[in-house]
């Protein structure tokens, strides 16, 4: 069985191809191909979208997990409507930020590939409804996929309790796992500041704010690579302010989701490797107990996969009743329901 997962990230799209096979009577799985494409290329170049889909089509995949943004209850690409596309991006079709995913999904639909749009954290029945009131972003569909990848690394995923902290280039987001199920989350638009974007912001400030401003780069008033900043943040104007604003925000968000069962923090995302030690130290000072931090993503510049792309491929395998079906069933993906605008009373 071949399944494919696609992660449409802020700075790059990642594609992971998972192969399930038999060896000496045992069912095994391995990632046989992975690659990345700059997001700006997908958004600006129609040929890049066509080439990507041609690449995917060549694998003759049994099932594909498609980039799903804010998500929908599990839905085959052939059933996707314009209203669904709006809910995935919360953008109209002519708005720039939605163009990449829209072009991609339209083309996949035309090719009749066996692909699925998946839920976000808010759609899951494992998240109590009161946590969904007046919020849309409890964690987008790619964060759900990152959590799936983290759980797949465990020998006993049903007993796992941890918080997944995705510290990406654009946004930060946090997903809480209890007994192997997602039970809560803080999505990027309501989380602490990311490296690029402001995340949660005072509503009075937010009236005219650019979605991709207000993060570390805005505080230091220049555009630099993450490794340049974190290696010597003190040399930048407002460098100390930006660093503390960023790291303390992460610690606060993890703390908000923590309980006595949580002693493990899984990290992923482009920025995660730069702040792992700071997060561990900050949590241990705050709670007075030991936390284990583990980076589940190779924090190597130019890495050709993401935890979300791998998790998406694993999810496709489970949806297609493969080796990871028990994990997919545990997450109750097929029982996801509702709408991202449910429980909004404003």
144 found inside a domain: no
137 found inside a domain: no
Q: What mean pLDDT do residues 257-285 have?
A: 95
Clarify whether residues 285 and 163 are in a common domain: yes
User: Residues 34-72: pLDDT tens digits?
Assistant: 999 999 998 888 889 999 999 999 999 999 999 999 999
- Paired strand residues for 5: 16, 65
Clarify whether residues 161 and 269 are in a common domain: yes
**Containing domain of residue 116, as a range?**
1-123+301-338
92 found inside a domain: yes
Clarify whether residues 224 and 277 are in a common domain: yes
Q: What is the CATH number of the domain that holds 283?
A: 3.30.420.40
pLDDT of residue 312: 99
Clarify whether residues 253 and 208 are in a common domain: yes
242 found inside a domain: yes
148 found inside a domain: no
Domain count, the chain: 2
147 found inside a domain: no
DSSP 102-113: HHHHHHHHHHT-
| Tokens of residue 20, six digits | 């399930």
Query: SS3 for 264?
Result: strand
Clarify whether residues 261 and 318 are in a common domain: no
Clarify whether residues 85 and 8 are in a common domain: yes
Clarify whether residues 61 and 77 are in a common domain: yes
Least confident residue range of 14-18, 113-117, 193-197: 193-197
Clarify whether residues 305 and 333 are in a common domain: yes
Q: What mean pLDDT do residues 117-129 have?
A: 98
DSSP 282-329: HHHHHHSS--EEEE-S---TT-S--HHHHHHHHHHHHHTTSTTHHHHH
- pTM, two decimal places: 0.93
113 found inside a domain: yes
Model confidence at 300: pLDDT above 60: no
Model confidence at 226: pLDDT above 70: yes
Q: What mean pLDDT do residues 71-80 have?
A: 97
Clarify whether residues 175 and 233 are in a common domain: yes
Clarify whether residues 266 and 323 are in a common domain: no
Clarify whether residues 174 and 265 are in a common domain: yes
Q: What is the CATH number of the domain that holds 22?
A: 3.30.420
Clarify whether residues 116 and 198 are in a common domain: no
180 found inside a domain: yes
């Amino acid at each position: 069985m071949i399944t494919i997962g696609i992660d449409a990230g802020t700075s790059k799209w990642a594609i992971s191809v998972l192969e399930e096979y038999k060896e000496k009577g045992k069912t095994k799985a391995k990632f046989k191909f992975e690659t990345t494409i700059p997001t700006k290329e997908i958004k600006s170049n129609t040929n890049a979208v066509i080439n990507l889909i041609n690449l995917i089509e060549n694998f003759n995949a049994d099932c594909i997990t498609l980039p799903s943004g804010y998500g929908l209850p599990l839905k085959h690409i052939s059933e996707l409507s314009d209203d669904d596309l709006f809910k995935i991006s919360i953008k109209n079709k002519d708005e720039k930020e939605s163009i990449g995913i829209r072009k991609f999904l339209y083309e996949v639909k035309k090719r009749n590939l066996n692909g699925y749009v998946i839920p976000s954290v808010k759609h899951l029945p494992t998240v109590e409804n009161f946590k969904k009131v007046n919020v849309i972003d409890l964690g987008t569909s790619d964060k759900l996929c990152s959590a799936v990848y983290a759980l797949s690394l465990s020998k006993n995923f049903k007993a796992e309790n941890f918080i997944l902290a995705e510290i990406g280039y654009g946004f930060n987001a946090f997903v809480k796992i209890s007994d192997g199920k997602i039970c809560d989350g803080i999505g990027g638009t309501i989380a602490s500041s990311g490296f690029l974007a402001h995340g949660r912001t005072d509503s009075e400030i937010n009236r005219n704010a650019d979605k991709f401003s207000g993060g570390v780069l805005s505080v230091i008033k220049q555009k630099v690579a993450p490794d340049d900043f974190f290696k010597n943040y003190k040399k930048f104007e407002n460098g100390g302010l930006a660093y503390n604003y960023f790291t303390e925000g992460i610690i606060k968000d993890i703390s908000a989701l923590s309980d006595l069962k949580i002693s493990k923090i899984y990290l992923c995302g482009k920025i995660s490797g730069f702040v792992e030690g700071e997060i561990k130290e900050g949590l241990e000072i705050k709670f007075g107990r030991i936390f284990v931090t583990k980076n589940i993503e190779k924090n190597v510049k130019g890495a050709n996969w993401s935890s979300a792309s791998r998790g998406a491929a694993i999810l496709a395998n489970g949806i297609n009743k493969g080796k990871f079906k028990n994990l997919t069933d545990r997450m109750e993906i097929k029982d996801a329901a509702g709408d991202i605008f449910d429980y909004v009373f404003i």
